[in-house]
Structure 1
């Protein structure tokens, strides 16, 4: 096994040689063998051990064992104690998820602080099969069936080709001791139930189960790569970057085959789950919205608009009378007294009668019931109707700001001024207000 391990390092991970590595060691069979293999391969590494304090004296015994192991291998060891149950309760997640989150967060913190370049874990072929079956039971896409990644960012899993049986044989042949986790015998956890009750039955049906699974997984990964290549080809034809997020071309999506699968591939990283509803969004009325936790997909006329949800409340900015240049998150607002109105006007500037304004002015988002008197028109108009006339999308409406004097709207910024503040006499002082919008806020 040492020879096979060294060959894997040479062929797949030659970059690990000479690097500062961090090994995740629980004290169990797999991680202890990994530590011995890394020592035999003359890698430079330190050990990191998590005490989750879930099994009382047994957890403390694991910690002592790992410290002794590090001493035997003459490597540095880092130990962290966690109140895993309290963290799980506070985060409202399972104990297993809490332990995983605590573990990897700490590993990354150690790596950043002490400059470890890669983190090595002892996942093996049986873990890979169990993960596949767990995802299959729960329901997943193709990527969930492709198994554990042998390399994921800075996390390396060099034992993924070895079976649990091979690892145990190596340990016994080399008189390596390890700690048994008593919780591994319990079938109350899904992974343990699959390990003890499901996998043995499958191995009875096919003694070469791991080899067959490895071949199947290789085919799945090839299919996944093919899909990714296809999505890369059509992506620029479907998706466009917009100032509020992304737009997806509805007409193009309707023409291509397997539209639902394409939508899944394009949007899976944004946390959506209702894929039938998203597919139906193509034929929905404009304004229909599908939400994930942090994003939303909006049906506009001929596009789907993907935008991040703003969880913070809209702000109101105030502008004092003496200010002539104000820098705000939405952009730059400038106030300047002028002698005459520019003939070549555009939507980025307005000219108002200075004495008609009541300071401090306010800049805010629109709200239901807002109205103004559009410059060049008679009578008042609801802001919502103005947006409709301008054929604005939902994100465009949400990211339009109003300049207000008291409760009166002076300017739908960069769209239309209010007629009530227009210059009506040569004796009135002319104030030029201009806005350079830098980004949506």
Structure 2
């Protein structure tokens, strides 16, 4: 966005914010609640580092946080309707062929026992078991940007077996214990029902159960798996059988290619990659509307620095190049970046409510703020000069050439495990 004049950027922000607030107003039956929600959004987008109730109230000129607290608590409005509005708003700008639906979770550190869903559970945010809430999210990632389009608070089993706890946190009666993969499956169903245009799904290691659902939906996938998960080939030569780690150790050095999983803050995220096709299957076996062969495979990523391995089960049209699968896997970083930005800049972790609906309302408003930032960025990118876009395209081609010319990769390390990119 460096090629955009400041006057143009200010105009983009003003126009977009006015439109977003007009759409937001339609979510509320009472004008005063709509005005408070608009002020809430202003607070999320404002310069204050902490987006707590008192900080937002001060920014809005209110004598206290009660007006904005009412938006999250006492007011009557549907957080799921806002979630759907955010999705539709983001897709107006970001929809693109080859888009990836990325599913992941993030933790919210919380003390005490009363906040809905809080408990001692593992969270990657802290890298350990801690007292926290866990939210499962879906992000829409395309070549135009990324937006969070779905979310749900995970309730540990010890919450769903205690009716008094559920009642105190105002958890709807229809909510029962569901696993994180089941939450993700429901998000995919909502995206399909809404006609969200995506071709791929990418996830971390706990969401492998989504594979059959995605095959039936005609969607390709790159799903993280464990080093100990077993894979077997069918009608392939030479045959492959064993754990993901064992298969990786048996690959010839020439199998590996050095490719970028995308551009990071320090340039291309280079890893060594290998791909093993396991079986070619008729797509119509899973989806009668499809024809042709699709390939089940195993994608392996190896860190250049420490040789750590990560493994991914794949499903794609036969003949799909490994570079495409690497691109899809690399889009998982989009949701990590979204979490970081939403937490550090937009107050995602500054939720002071304890109820089920309070969590979903707060998070949905943050998702709206994040989607607006992404939309403004894409509109600004469209205003940059053709020369700048040409320069960026040449840079991407240079990175690709660098990857192809890289020196031969070292042999596979005996260490194996599924880990996030570092």
Q: Mark the structure with the bigger radius of gyration.
A: 1
Give the TM-score taking structure 1 as reference length: 0.22
Give the TM-score taking structure 2 as reference length: 0.23
More relative contact order in 1 or in 2 (CA 8 Å, sep 6+)?
2
